[in-house]
């Protein structure tokens, strides 16, 4: 008796074909079908993964009884329509980030999945990265650690997308990481961008975010920078943590240095002095793992054992709410706007 769960991949482009590979490698699943509007992409899937049914028809995929769950890796502008059809057909769904490009649509998917008792998970893959999780562990080790600010850079020469701008393409990664590390969502954002490549959509962006307890974040994204950077930096009262996804070794470095203020005792009431902490530089051991495979294993665990996803539909909705606020700020030349 075959106890494998049947998986379909809808969208087999640059990233979607990686899902075919990973679910094909896992013993718990069988990739039953792959769907894409481009016959050439389907030919590539068929060449690399013989035995997978190939189709350009989403309805054909959803009509199959041997498919338990679907991965939606289509262009972002189609996520809502495709994911909604999958949930309506009774399939568990893992949808690539962003879950949708409109918060109202994301909320609709969350409600639909809940009503049908189905798993809805969003592919915020960096939350399954062992390096990002190590940063989270470091921040949680000492109750006295207080984050001051964080910033990230996500730059490269492309790849340039034609459905969304660079901010929607890249910044959701960092918004999800910030939200995860801080266990909160921003209350306001400010964003500016530029169309340096003159392709009718912003290809460079700078985003500021305001979190609770006066923590601020900053994100720089670009499709037009020849230097490939995938970096997140967290600065706190007692350390500086650097996560560098481009590095194969020492992906996380902890600088045990910090500065904090402490109140001077009377008679100088209300005055403060600074306390400087200086320690070691540490490169913690990080278990080698593929984030996408970890994410897929978590998805399987969630829909087969009725567990709640780390990157559920609600967290995906919260990222889209931030992105919508970024759009409003862009339209106002960087004016701070509230996240709603």
Q: Strand 272-282 relative to strand 69-72: parallel, antiparallel, unpaired? A: unpaired
Same domain, 94 and 143: no
Same domain, 270 and 298: no
For the cut 70, the answer to whether the pLDDT of residue 263 exceeds it is no
Q: What is the pLDDT of residue 308?
A: 98
Reported confidence tier of residue 1, pLDDT bands at 50, 70, 90: very low
Reported confidence tier of residue 322, pLDDT bands at 50, 70, 90: very high
CATH code, 62? 3.40.50.720
17/292 Cα distance (integer angstroms):
12
Same domain, 118 and 138: no
Same domain, 303 and 158: no
Cα–Cα distance list, 273 to 34, 239, 270 (Å): 63, 19, 10
Mean pLDDT of 281-302: 96
Share of the chain above pLDDT 70, in %: 97
The pLDDT tens digits of the residues spanning 218-241 come to: 999 999 999 999 999 999 999 999
Classify residue 218: in a domain, yes or no. Answer: yes
89/72 Cα distance (integer angstroms):
14
For the cut 90, the answer to whether the pLDDT of residue 328 exceeds it is yes
Same domain, 60 and 138: no
Run of H or E including 322: helix 313-331
Classify residue 236: in a domain, yes or no. Answer: yes
Same domain, 174 and 268: yes
For residue 10, how far is the Cα from the chain centroid?
Answer: 19
For residue 283, how far is the Cα from the chain centroid?
Answer: 24
Residue with tokens 């759009």: 327
Same domain, 72 and 218: no
Q: What is the pLDDT of residue 269?
A: 55
Q: Are 316 and 93 in contact (CB under 8 A)?
A: no
Percentages (nearest 5) of helix, strand, coil residues in the chain: 35, 30, 35
For the cut 70, the answer to whether the pLDDT of residue 78 exceeds it is yes
Classify residue 317: in a domain, yes or no. Answer: no
pTM, 2 dp: 0.94
Classify residue 316: in a domain, yes or no. Answer: no
Same domain, 153 and 142: yes
Q: What is the pLDDT of residue 28?
A: 97
Classify residue 333: in a domain, yes or no. Answer: yes
Mean pLDDT of 143-166: 95
Residue with tokens 């996240």: 339
Instruction: Look over the chain and give the mean of its residue pLDDT values, rounded to a whole number.
Output: 95
Same domain, 183 and 93: no
Q: What are the φ and ψ backbone dihedral angles of 269, each rounded to 5 degrees?
A: -60, 135
User: What is 196-224 written as a DSSP string?
Assistant: TT-SSS--EEEEEEE-GGG-EEEEEEESE
Where are any strands of DSSP class E within the chain?
5-10, 29-35, 53-55, 69-72, 92-96, 120-123, 147-157, 188-194, 204-210, 216-222, 224-236, 240-244, 252-263, 272-282, 337-338
Same domain, 175 and 244: yes
Classify residue 315: in a domain, yes or no. Answer: no
258/146 Cα distance (integer angstroms):
10
Reported confidence tier of residue 2, pLDDT bands at 50, 70, 90: confident
Classify residue 208: in a domain, yes or no. Answer: yes
48/42 Cα distance (integer angstroms):
10
Classify residue 223: in a domain, yes or no. Answer: yes
Report how many domains make up the chain: 2
For the cut 70, the answer to whether the pLDDT of residue 169 exceeds it is yes
Q: What are the φ and ψ backbone dihedral angles of 234, each rounded to 5 degrees?
A: -120, 125
| Structural domain that includes position 303 | 5-126+292-308
CATH code, 131? 3.30.360.10
What lies within 8 Å, CB to CB, of 306 at 6+ separation is none
Same domain, 49 and 110: yes
Same domain, 44 and 78: yes
């Amino acid at each position: 008796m075959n106890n494998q769960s049947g998986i379909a991949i809808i969208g087999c482009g640059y990233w979607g074909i990686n899902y075919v590979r990973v679910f094909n490698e896992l013993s718990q699943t069988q990739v039953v079908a792959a769907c894409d509007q481009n016959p050439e992409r389907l030919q590539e899937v068929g060449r690399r993964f013989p035995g997978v049914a190939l189709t350009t028809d989403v309805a054909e995929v959803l009509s199959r009884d041997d498919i338990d769950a679907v991965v939606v890796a289509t262009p972002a502008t189609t996520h809502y329509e495709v994911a909604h059809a999958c949930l309506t057909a009774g399939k568990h769904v893992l949808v690539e980030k962003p879950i949708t490009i409109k918060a109202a649509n994301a909320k609709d998917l969350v409600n639909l999945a809940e009503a049908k008792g189905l798993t809805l998970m969003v592919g915020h893959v960096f939350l399954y990265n062992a390096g990002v999780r190590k940063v989270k562990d470091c921040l949680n080790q000492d109750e006295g650690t207080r984050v001051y600010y964080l910033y990230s850079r996500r730059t490269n020469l492309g790849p340039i997308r034609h459905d969304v701008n660079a901010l929607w393409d890249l910044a959701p990664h960092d918004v999800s990481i910030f939200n995860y590390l801080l266990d909160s969502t921003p209350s306001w954002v400010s964003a500016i961008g530029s169309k340096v490549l003159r392709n009718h959509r912003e290809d460079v962006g700078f985003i500021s975010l305001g979190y609770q307890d006066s923590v601020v974040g900053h994100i720089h994204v670009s499709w037009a920078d020849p230097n490939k950077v995938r970096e997140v930096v967290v600065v706190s009262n007692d350390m500086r943590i650097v996560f560098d996804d481009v590095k194969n070794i020492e992906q996380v470095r902890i600088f045990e240095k910090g500065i904090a203020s402490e109140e001077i005792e009377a008679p100088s009431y209300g005055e403060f002095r600074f306390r400087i902490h200086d320690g070691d530089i540490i490169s913690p051991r990080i278990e080698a793992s593929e984030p996408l495979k970890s994410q897929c294993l978590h998805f399987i665990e969630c829909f087969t054992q009725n567990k709640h996803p780390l990157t559920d539909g609600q967290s995906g909705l919260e990222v889209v709410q931030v992105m919508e606020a970024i759009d409003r700020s862009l339209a106002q030349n960087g004016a701070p706007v509230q996240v709603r």
